[in-house]
Amino acid sequence: MTITALMPVYPRCGVRPVRGEGVYLYGEDGQQFLDFASGIAVNALGHGHPKLVKAIADQAATLMHVSNLYGSPQGEHLAQRLVDATFADTVFFTNSGAEAVECAIKTARRYHYANGNPERHTLITFNNAFHGRTLGAISATNQAKMRDGFEPLLPGFAYAPFDDLDAALALIDDNTAGFLVEPIQGEGGLRPASPEFLRGLREACDKHGLLLVLDEVQCGYGRTGKFFAHELYGVTPDIMAVAKGIGGGFPLGACLATEEAAKGMVAGTHGSTYGGNPLAMAAGEAVLDVLQEPGFLEQVEAMGQRLRATLEQMIPNHDHLFEEVRGHGLMLGLKMKSDSRRFVAHCRDEHNLLLVSAGENVVRILPPLVIDESHIAEFSTKLSDAARVYVPVADD
């Protein structure tokens, strides 16, 4: 037997965290890491946040799970808070981002079905998109590394270059249901859409009766300094997938929609055994409590500006390595002139700094949203130490 007990689908690194505290992770041998990856934009409140820990512990002792066959005071309460804070009129809770995307796709198809247009089933999506790993979600991207060997995939998707409005509009036909897009591509290389692109998609939806479906699984929930990234653009979706930060580390996702867009999602059309159970709702309430504290998002914005300025100052000193800074708030990307995965490994193994690589040789910088100036200073020292001694490999 050579296969590992854990199915070997991840190339796991040597960091083996067993404990976390604030912005730090601790490995089996007690080594300390500065965590500017946050479980890929999940640990919005850092590790072991007392409010989140207490909410989960209290709820676990009170009521962990009941079926969605029963009334859900917990779900109603959190859904109402999300409705009050966003464009949405209704919320479906899931356990992951991919499931939130699945619900978004199903909601979009059911909308046109309910309108008597079942042929309008195709969502236009974008090159280098990442929407998760279910068969539906991998069908919604054209990235070969996620699709190869899993065919036949789901029909009903068309692919345009990201941020190319004319190409997206040219794909609209009688079968189009709408657009599915990340306002800021995460895995694909930390690429923000241009305002013209997102606004153009919204206008096309209004003109042709299509749905704008946003995937804010990574860029949403305070990450950019706004509650949701689309607020940066002044663009409102019809349907939106949310996850990652929403549970602060507890598996939770949500599909948000307007009343009109959700008109087809009647009793019996969708479901989830765990989705929105009391334990998940307690985690979601605690995260939202912190995000809605006065000044919290402003602080994310301020720390984002400081972190960006730090990175921009560093580029001229290491211009053989770094090209530009991308992103908003605490969702930043440092574009490299060589392999970003190798540099991320160097930062991790030699400087105890955790970052995440993304497409296009971008280093993703996704610290917990609760960082302060001292963490940025520590990050800056570690990153410049790492850059000073790093020797990139030619042609990689």
Token pair listed for 261: 């867009």
Catalytic residue among 163, 215, 226, 227: 215
* Annotation marks residue 130 as catalytic: yes
- Residue 309's closest CA among 387, 228, 373, 382? 373
Catalytic residue among 36, 126, 130, 157: 130
Helix 373-389 / helix 296-314 crossing angle, nearest 10 deg:
20
With CB under 6 A as the contact rule, the residue among 33, 93, 111, 130 that binds ligand PLP is 130
Cβ atoms of 94 and 254 within 8 Å: the answer is yes
With CB under 6 A as the contact rule, the residue among 38, 128, 218, 338 that binds ligand PLP is 218
- Supply the minimum distance, in Å, between the C-beta of residue 216 and ligand PLP: 7
* Annotation marks residue 35 as catalytic: no
182 binding ligand PLP? (CB under 6 A): yes
34 binding ligand PLP? (CB under 6 A): no
Q: Distance (Å, rounded) from C-alpha 77 to C-alpha 231?
A: 23
Cβ atoms of 241 and 103 within 8 Å: the answer is yes
Nearest residue (beta carbon) to ligand PLP: 97
215 binding ligand PLP? (CB under 6 A): yes
With CB under 6 A as the contact rule, the residue among 46, 132, 222, 333 that binds ligand PLP is 132
Cβ atoms of 120 and 174 within 8 Å: the answer is yes
Window 231-260: contact mask with ligand PLP (x via CB under 6 A): ------------xx----------------
State the number of binding residues for ligand PLP (CB under 6 A).
15
For ligand PLP, give the closer residue by CB, 186 or 327.
Answer: 186
Window 67-106: contact mask with ligand PLP (x via CB under 6 A): -----------------------------xxx--x-----
* Annotation marks residue 244 as catalytic: yes
Which sign does the torsion angle of CA 311, 314, 319, 321 carry? Answer: negative
Question: Judged by CB under 6 A, which stretch of 124-132, 275-283, 289-297, 319-327 contacts ligand PLP?
Answer: 124-132
- Supply the minimum distance, in Å, between the C-beta of residue 373 and ligand PLP: 28
Q: Which residues bind ligand PLP (CB under 6 A)?
A: 96-98, 101, 130-132, 182, 186-187, 215, 217-218, 243-244
Give the residue numbers annotated as catalytic, written as ranges.
130, 215, 244
